[in-house]
Structure 1
Amino acid sequence: MTMRLRLLAPLLAAALVVAGCTESGESPAPDVLRVGMATPATLLPADVRDQSGRLLTGALWTPLGDYDPATGKMTPRAAESVTSTDRTTWTVKLKDGGKFHDGTPVTAQSYVDTWAAIGGENWQASRVVKDLLRAKEITAPDPLTVRIVLDRPSGQVPALLSSPALVPLPASALKSRDWAGFALNPVGNGPFRLDGAWQPSGGKLVRVTAAPGKAREIQFKTGDAAAQYDEVKAGKLDLSTVVPGDRHEAMHADFAQRHVMWALPGVAYLGFPLTAPPFSDATVRHGFALGVDRAALEAGALAKQADPAKSLLPPAVAPGERSSTCRPCTFDAGAGKSLLSQAEFPASPVHFGQSPANWLRPLAEQASAAVGVPLAAEPGTGPFAIDLNLMTPSPQEVLAEIVKATGYQSDGFADLLKSAEETEAADSGEIYRLVENQLLRDLPVAPLWSGHGHAVWAERVGDVKATTFGSVDLSAVSVR
């Protein structure tokens, strides 16, 4: 009898895990979702740049709409519609009945006042977002209408307005301006509200309106990503939103039908000092680009948290996809060496620009070895890191940052970029591809990679979907 019990014990333990029980034998409540995550840097929507912050603010707030860069179409959420007849004056009609979690109504003035605060505060909202907020006029002619008058035509407004940075803040927060306090007790207009102050160890969200089959309550736990992965596997957590590099391959076997990967709004480039020889020569820039083994860096320094670039514009904002990988995005050490030889690249060591990016040093060493160029140990005025964390799905954000970082200019480029911005978003893809092709020809930057997110979940969880700017849609997750 004792031997039989010993043989049955592992089978019973496995059955408890499959049933969604913990090792202690306690089953989670059927409408409670337990989520593991990294500690968010902030819960201020206009300041959020990390995936954990996007996960939480995506549950606490409802944006005006969701924008699909592949089609150029915006699906309204808090907005009823976003329209314009001339792409200079835009009208945002809000859905009636919107409320903040404190019970106060969400009105057009809520957006006007919030956007004025974003423009005036030292938050991380991107350059293109703040440029939109410097419009000639942003007013609320009635409680459900926001009117935006630009100083030039722009077809990118629907993409910009879908930014999670532009969600409304309640009047109480705008009046107190206690942003540190608000970040601990945020009040949004989304499907979940925060129950109690956010703590470094985590917090709890409660659904505002009942949704049968969906999570009524979400319990968040911050901590080590590898430990959380194992806890989901053991049934102690229901969902983990970070998969470390050493679990990346195992994920496909451990969670065969219970994992998802999605594009993140992060993108990296190797920038070149265009006015400093030898990098003022496009041949040199192309030679260096071909010397970067992006796949090796993705598996090493980047810990499998990125996808090697296939184009200059990342999937998060690309208007459509390229049919093949761009030539400067490929690794071809022989061709890189040949180009540098043609350009009579000097034998003096290459200095790499100062940057906090943890991938710049291994990239410099790897590329220098590939193309046979000596590397200077100290930073200097050579190639430098451009590490972007985007806040909108508009290509304008990427292109504005590239131009600013490198000072790139060329005959016709400004006019081409202006034409792309002014064109209706759904029709702008072809022009943005021309912009991209010119940049790939002149190569002020070498495309490196874009980020991707991961999530794994337990058997009791279903309907897990993720979006680039919102992370996992917690309101859609079902539990049983």
Structure 2
Amino acid sequence: MRLRVLAAPVLALLLLSGCTSTVSQPGVLTAGLREPATLLPAEVRDQAGRLVTSALWTPLADYDPASGKLTPRAAESITSTDQVHWVVRLRPGGRFHDGTPVTAKSYVDTWQAISASHWATAALLADTLRAKEITAPDDTTIALTLERPFGQVPAVLSAPGLVPLPASVLTSHDWAGFARQPVGNGPFRLTAPWRPGQGGTLVRVADVPGKAHEVDLRVGDPSAQYDQVKAGELDLATEVPGDRHGAMHTDFPDRHAMWALPEATYLAFPVADKRFEDPTVRHGFALAVDRAKLAAGPLGSQVDPARGVLPPADSPGPAGDACRACVFDGAAAKALVSQSGFTGAATVRVAAGDQVWAKPMGEQVHGVLGVPVTIADADGPFALTVSLASPSPHELFAAIAKATGYADEGFADLLAAADGAGSPEELGRACRVVEAQLVRDLPAVPLWTAHGHAVWSERLHDVAATPFGGIGLAGVSVA
């Protein structure tokens, strides 16, 4: 390797910027990402966290909601004869990075810890899966008995937050220490504790010819990382911010990816709010929002305007244009609100991070309807962002109903019919019926769904992403 001496000012600049200029090493992939919020799988909700934990763990299966295809991973099979009693058969010989075996008990004990600790994925077990009993009859068998027939179990069990934890941390309960240096069962292991603000190094457990045997993860600013890939100083930038989005197709015409994220945002109306109890009013407000303009403007091209209630990452079967009220139509919006007799102003409650788009949206609605809109922490309509833990449609439908208090007669029956669907085709049809009712009543107006971006250098090939894992580091080929 040829060494060179850096002048002091240049060296100082590199140190301050948090990046290093290194000669590319065969088989070593350098990847930029934001600081993950956590590396504890059941608590992960951000893109950076998903990227790292998906490299450290192998889920029971991969599930494609569009086709209903189940691809076993750590599991050999996930089966049921009646959709109430389910059996998961594990592949024999699975091991954690510390050398201990991955058994059925590893999963059962982990899921109990998730529920007891009330981690983010706990709701998936309690509200979506709803198991009466989960046991490990032997080392390679997980047996589940549910409260009701539920055909979406494979989708739920593919959730990256339900991967197993080793006995060491399940005994010690040192969750913070574990999150600093996680021990998984996946294709890569973390060689040393994660360095906040800097990153970490992943090493492949079993070499695969042509694929990266080591990944150098570098924490930094997405704009700077984009420029580093363009300059040949970084192999992969796993996020493309709005200020680089316009140049992405020109700078990386055949070396970029976009993929749906498991996140959707709605304008929700509490059913107890009498001013908005008429669906005509809600439809008027829905039509008054120019989603495409907000997506390209304050939202920095990080979202797609909604086309239905279900986001693409969670939609069984081909996604259609199920939501007429999702298409901006100022004249129709004004006519509907006028017809309803709605008067006065509206107050919309949003989270702190939503202020960037909430005010422009309020200005849009005011301009179209003549209704003054105030963004404030008060009762009334509110922004609802649902971050999904799994590709189960039940999770999304139930989240909307719970947040708004929606319990229209017949909705529970339609949801139960979707839960009991026995095939991907039947599930798709049943979900379209549920979605049609939600579009009719609009307890929550679909606004947009999130998507991710990545760009990469000429050294990389076979770069692909999934909604719940982001870029699959294990599949990337490195020249």
* Same fold, judged at TM 0.5 (above): yes
Give the conservation status (yes or no) of the 8 Å contact 1:73–1:425: no
Which residue of 112, 116, 120 maps to 2:116? 120
Find the partner of 1:338 among 329, 335, 339.
335
SS of the aligned residue for 2:438 comes to helix
Which of 412, 415, 437 is the matching residue for 2:413? 415
Aligned partners of 1:463 and 1:477 also within 8 Å: yes
1:175 is the counterpart of 2:171: yes
Kindly provide the amino acid, as one letter, of the partner of residue 479 in structure 1.
Answer: V
**Cα shift readout 1:25-68 (whole Å, capped 9, x = no counterpart):** x5311110000001000000000000000000000000000111
Residues 38-57 of structure 1 aligned to structure 2 (within 5 Å): 38-57=34-53
Distance 2:165 2:306 in 1: 36
Contact (CA 8 Å) 2:362, 2:375: kept in 1 or not?
no
Aligned to 1:448: 447
Q: CA deviation at 1:275?
A: 2.5
The Cα of 1:134 is off from its aligned counterpart by: 5.1
For residue 365 of structure 1, report the CA deviation from its aligned partner: 2.3
Aligned to 2:24, what secondary structure does the other structure show? coil
Partner of 1:278, secondary structure, is: helix
Secondary structure class of the residue paired with 1:289 = helix
Deviation at 1:278?
2.0
Match of 2:86 among 84, 90, 95: 90
For the Cα contact (< 8 Å) 1:184–1:197, is it kept in 2? Answer: yes
Aligned partner of 2:390 in structure 1 is 392
Task: Find the counterpart in structure 2 of residue 154 from structure 1.
Answer: 150
- Measured in 1, the distance between the counterparts of 2:201 and 2:319 equals 42
SS of the aligned residue for 1:351 comes to strand
- Name structure 2 gaps, 5 residues minimum: 1-18
Counterpart of 1:145?
Answer: 141
Matched, 1:129 2:125: yes
In 2: Cα distance, 1:354 partner to 1:452 partner: 21
Query: How many residues in Structure 1 have an aligned counterpart in Structure 2?
Result: 457
**Which of 215, 228, 232 matches 2:225?**
228
1:293 paired with 2:294, answer no
Output the amino acid matched with 2:332. Answer: A
Question: For the residues of structure 2 that align with 1:339 and 1:213, how far apart are their CA atoms?
Answer: 60
Structure 1 174/376 Cα, relative in aligned 2: closer, same or farther at 3 Å?
Answer: same
Contact 2:32 2:219 (8 Å CA) reproduced: yes
C-alpha RMSD of matched pairs (Å): 1.5
Structure 1 stretches lacking a partner, 5+ long:
1-21
- The answer (yes or no) to whether the contact 2:229–2:457 under 8 Å persists in 1 is yes
1:103 maps to which residue?
Answer: 99
Cα distance in structure 2, aligned partners of 1:349 and 1:412: 32
* CA deviation map 1:121-147 (0-9, x unaligned): 031115233335652211111110000
Q: 1:198 to 1:397 in 2, by over 3 A?
A: same
1:351 shift after superposition: 1.4
Q: Does 1:165 pair with 2:161? A: yes
Q: Which moved more, 1:224-233 or 1:406-415?
A: 406-415
Identity percentage of aligned residues: 58
Change (3 A) 1:339 1:479: same
Task: Select between 147-156 and 81-90 the one with higher mean Cα deviation.
Answer: 147-156
Distance 2:436 2:100 in 1: 49
Asked if structure 2 preserves the Cα contact closer than 8 Å seen for 1:126 and 1:390, the reply is no
Instruction: Report the TM-score, using the length of structure 2 for normalisation.
Output: 0.93
Deviates more, 1:134-143 or 1:389-398: 134-143
Distance in 1 of aligned mates of 2:422 and 2:407? 24
1:3 aligns to what? none
Instruction: Tell me, yes or no, if the aligned pair for 2:322 and 2:436 is still in contact at 8 Å.
Output: no
Opposite residue 41 of structure 1, the aligned amino acid is A
Runs (4+) of structure 1 exceeding 4 A deviation are none
Q: Determine if the alignment matches structure 1 residue 195 to structure 2 residue 191.
A: yes
Matched, 1:208 2:205: yes
Residue of 76, 92, 99 corresponding to 2:72: 76
* Offset of residue 73 of structure 1: 2.5
